[in-house]
Structure 1
Amino acid sequence: MAKDIHKMLGEEKIGRLLLSLSLPATIGMLVQAMYNFVDTIFVGKGVGSMGIAGISIALPVQIFVMAFAQMFGIGGASVISRALGERDHEKARRAAGNVMVFSLAFGLVMTLLGQFFLDQLLIMLGASEAIIPYAREYLGIILLGSAFFSFGMAMNHVVRAEGKPKIAMAAMLISAVLNIILDPIFIFSLNMGIRGAALATVLSQAATSIYVLFYFLSGRSLLRVSLRSLIPEWRIMRETVSVGLSAFSRQVAGSVLAVVLNNSLVFYGGDIAVAVYGVINRLLMVFIMPMFGVNQGFLPIVGYNYGARKMRRARESVKLASAVTTMIALFSSIVMFLFARQLISIFTDETELIESTIYALRIVILATPTIGVQVIASGMFQALGKALPALFLSLLRQIIILIPLILVIPRFLGINGIWISFPLADLIAFAISLVFYLRELKIFRSGELNVEEE
């Protein structure tokens, strides 16, 4: 089994390898996006625009949980990939065990904190008096399942790091299919409304966690986790966190951005504006997630080959992944622009919400084709274990650029200023990311020449 992974990551043709690793990861990421997408469809049809607004208010907390899960998972996956490239299997196993323990512990802490401070949290998130009842019902249940969400997502990255993308995909498909089945049953048949959507999500995430845990306990994994590997090892966790910090920061940036957005949307556009962005965000998640799937498939390739000093393969994987993500971004923006009405009508029948969302969506996605290079540039530095540039690029678009634009431009342009801020931030972040990206490729080229000389 160990020989298979070394042959696969170190020798197989990059195009075929990227496809084999990215396709299951992409399906898995789409499945992940389906949680909120499906919830929003059923809540929009069964509860209305205030239900969509309630889910939108709760989203920053879900993103925050996801941030820690990805910090442990992506950081641990980077450590594991490089350790496998160096043929240090014991370190890879210890890293997997530590990810398991810390992701579970964090999820349990979030459950406890959420139950004690739920109302204060909703006010901070920007919920108006009309939205709070819906957001409380939804988020209160979602937080009960934080441990399932955190564990399942973190360990999914570990499964991919050992070259088992189909197992990772299957885990996420189980949860997506179950969520789609349970949503209409709980929301409509059992008349549970927005609480039913939350309960369906939690039960689906629990199913994923059980499946992943069984995979590791069954002995099918190369990373056989023992009791010894579950003991916290601060050197490994320090490396895991330092590398995963960029992924964490990107997600936390998304959470902070959502809080700022929700407050600004209520101030400049009222409760309906929160629902408008809720629909836009769900569409963006579905169309953009394939890029992050390619990124997840590309991470173990570049990490392994960098650790094995196969610089030519590492550079080739970066360039190919960049081309693929850019094509996905371009295709997505064209589809969303041309078929905005049809896509938005999936969520709601309310004319005001549909018309407002069409107008805003077409502005927001104007610079979407630039996102592909941004995603791969940040992912490349994560895979190489270069924490500081990865952290900077993760924070660049959402925290360093977009939030200041949202706080300033609407003062002059009102609600339109919020929508215009998105393409402006994309263009600025793309220009800066491109500088880091090209400079690192030159370093790859230099390392490639040095290896050839040896």
Structure 2
Amino acid sequence: MLRFTLPSVVMNIFASLYIIVDGFFVANFVGTAEFAAVNLIMPAMNIPGTIGYMFGVGGSALIARLSGEGDQDKANSLFSLLVLVSSCLGVLMLVPGFIFMRPLTALLGAQGQLLENSVLYGRIFILALPAWILLYEFQLFFVAAERPELGLAVTLCAGFCNIALDALFIIVFKWGLAGAAAASAISQLTGGLFPIIYFGRKNNSLLRLTKPVWDGIAILKALGNGSSEFMSEVSYSVVGIIYNLQLLKYAGENGVAIYGVLMYVSLIFSAIFVGYSNGIGPVFSYHYGAQDHGELKNLRKRSLVIIGITSVAMCILSEAL
């Protein structure tokens, strides 16, 4: 079980580092005002990105079930269709997102230089939106393909790429906020496009990109399965937006910056549980498709124990720190 869940946990932690790393370099080498801009725009940027999470969670459950039933051709067809549809959605959202970035940011409460900084970061960041959606999505599909360790490797490479480019663009080239956004965009391209190359060729996983066959019912089922996780992520972003609006009103840019630091800590803690859920979900689906009800009960029991112990341990750790 840990073969699937542990890589997924680490993947989610490193996925959170995209935001945290940018924040670290911007706060320490650019300025507090620019750091506030990153924290202001990121909750809104996260909403379209989590569409990939919805496709990944919902789609991986269906794909793993089909694999468990032994219908691998249909699993590959559905996998390919989900990747295609989510990629097209990313492209469709990119253009209006880029064009309307300024009015969107103004709605978030930004004015003056904070508005300019937020628009600058957001417009560069959103250029990689299709790849960001795929990055979210493939985190789940690697588990369904029984290659969670490869998904971890891709996420680690993308994360280290982000760190290296942040250092290069911000410290060496002095590109400031634009450099931070460019570093994140390039790292997302790395993490989102490499899996397409891997799955597009003959590989040693369960899944492979093939010519998709349209299946609207399967798309709706995948979206339905992943809708709860999508809404959870959206609600988290909406709460962040509301907090930022109030903080701008009563505490200014410094309040947004301080809240951003707290959110970074929260991201790490929540990533552990989200990662476990992402890793174990396709395993449940596979055994459900194989009608292995005994193993399903065993997985549920062990998962409850692991989550309970981890929750208590993290609560104690947070109080100690």
Instruction: Check whether TM > 0.5.
Output: yes
Q: Which amino acid aligns with 2:182?
A: L
Q: Which amino acid aligns with 2:102?
A: D
Report Cα offsets for 1:366-423 as digits up to 9, x if no partner: xxxxxxxxxxxxxxxxxxxxxxxxxxxxxxxxxxxxxxxxxxxxxxxxxxxxxxxxxx
Q: Which amino acid aligns with 1:68?
A: I
Deviation at 1:240, TM superposition (A): 0.9
- Structure 1 40/111 Cα, relative in aligned 2: closer, same or farther at 3 Å? same
1:127 is aligned to 2:110? yes
Q: Which amino acid aligns with 2:122?
A: L
8 A Cα contact 2:44 2:241, kept in partner: no
Q: Which of 265, 272, 278 is equivalent to 1:296?
A: 278
Find the counterpart in structure 1 of residue 2 from structure 2. 19
8 A Cα contact 2:201 2:208, kept in partner: no
Find the counterpart in structure 1 of residue 310 from structure 2. 328
8 A Cα contact 2:8 2:139, kept in partner: no
Q: Which of 225, 236, 243 is equivalent to 2:209?
A: 225
Report Cα offsets for 1:258-315 as digits up to 9, x if no partner: 2222112223333222111111111111222111111112101222222333223212
Deviation at 1:49, TM superposition (A): 2.2
- Structure 1 192/326 Cα, relative in aligned 2: closer, same or farther at 3 Å? farther
8 A Cα contact 1:59 1:258, kept in partner: no
1:46 is aligned to 2:21? no
Q: Which amino acid aligns with 2:42?
A: L
8 A Cα contact 1:63 1:254, kept in partner: no
1:109 is aligned to 2:84? no
- Structure 1 299/269 Cα, relative in aligned 2: closer, same or farther at 3 Å? same
1:315 is aligned to 2:303? no
8 A Cα contact 1:128 1:271, kept in partner: no
Deviation at 1:175, TM superposition (A): 0.3
- Structure 1 193/329 Cα, relative in aligned 2: closer, same or farther at 3 Å? farther
**Cα RMSD after superposing both structures:** 1.7
8 A Cα contact 1:290 1:328, kept in partner: no
Q: Which amino acid aligns with 1:90?
A: D
What SS does the corresponding residue of 2:50 show, helix, strand or coil? Answer: helix
- Structure 1 152/274 Cα, relative in aligned 2: closer, same or farther at 3 Å? same
Q: Distance in 2 between matches of 1:320 and 1:129?
A: 53
**Structure 2, unaligned runs of 5 or more:** none
1:270 is aligned to 2:235? no
8 A Cα contact 1:288 1:329, kept in partner: no
Q: Which amino acid aligns with 1:58?
A: I
- Structure 1 43/329 Cα, relative in aligned 2: closer, same or farther at 3 Å? farther
What SS does the corresponding residue of 1:131 show, helix, strand or coil? Answer: helix
Q: Distance in 1 between matches of 2:103 and 2:314?
A: 37
Aligned residues: 320
Find the counterpart in structure 2 of residue 305 from structure 1. 287
Deviation at 1:332, TM superposition (A): 3.2
Q: Which of 119, 126, 144 is equivalent to 1:143?
A: 126
Q: Distance in 2 between matches of 1:240 and 1:83?
A: 13
Q: How does 1:232-271 map to 2 (within 5 A)?
A: 232-271=214-253
Q: Which amino acid aligns with 1:265?
A: L
Find the counterpart in structure 2 of residue 182 from structure 1. 165
Q: Distance in 2 between matches of 1:272 and 1:223?
A: 47
Q: Which amino acid aligns with 2:54?
A: M
Deviation at 1:200, TM superposition (A): 0.5
Find the counterpart in structure 2 of residue 206 from structure 1. 189
- Structure 1 167/264 Cα, relative in aligned 2: closer, same or farther at 3 Å? same
Q: Distance in 1 between matches of 2:154 and 2:148?
A: 10
Q: Which amino acid aligns with 2:134?
A: F
8 A Cα contact 2:138 2:195, kept in partner: yes
Q: Distance in 1 between matches of 2:115 and 2:315?
A: 33
Report Cα offsets for 1:35-54 as digits up to 9, x if no partner: 11111111110122222211
Report Cα offsets for 1:319-368 as digits up to 9, x if no partner: 322332333333334434433xxxxxxxxxxxxxxxxxxxxxxxxxxxxx
Q: Which amino acid aligns with 1:225?
A: L
Q: Distance in 2 between matches of 1:304 and 1:126?
A: 46
Q: How does 1:44-83 map to 2 (within 5 A)?
A: 44-83=27-66
Q: Which amino acid aligns with 2:86?
A: S
What SS does the corresponding residue of 2:221 show, helix, strand or coil? Answer: helix
Q: Distance in 2 between matches of 1:333 and 1:143?
A: 35
Find the counterpart in structure 2 of residue 281 from structure 1. 263
What SS does the corresponding residue of 1:223 show, helix, strand or coil? Answer: coil
Q: Which has the higher contact order (CA 8 A, sep 6+)?
A: 2
What SS does the corresponding residue of 1:145 show, helix, strand or coil? Answer: helix
Q: Distance in 2 between matches of 1:123 and 1:152?
A: 28
Report Cα offsets for 1:126-152 as digits up to 9, x if no partner: 324342122112111001110111122
Q: Which amino acid aligns with 2:257?
A: A
8 A Cα contact 1:67 1:250, kept in partner: no
What SS does the corresponding residue of 2:112 show, helix, strand or coil? Answer: coil
1:161 is aligned to 2:148? no
- Structure 1 53/334 Cα, relative in aligned 2: closer, same or farther at 3 Å? farther
8 A Cα contact 1:110 1:143, kept in partner: no
Identity %: 26
Q: Distance in 2 between matches of 1:240 and 1:140?
A: 30
Larger displacement relative to structure 2 (318-327 or 67-76): 318-327
Q: Distance in 1 between matches of 2:234 and 2:121?
A: 20
Q: Which amino acid aligns with 2:143?
A: R
> TM-score scaled to structure 2, two decimals?
0.94
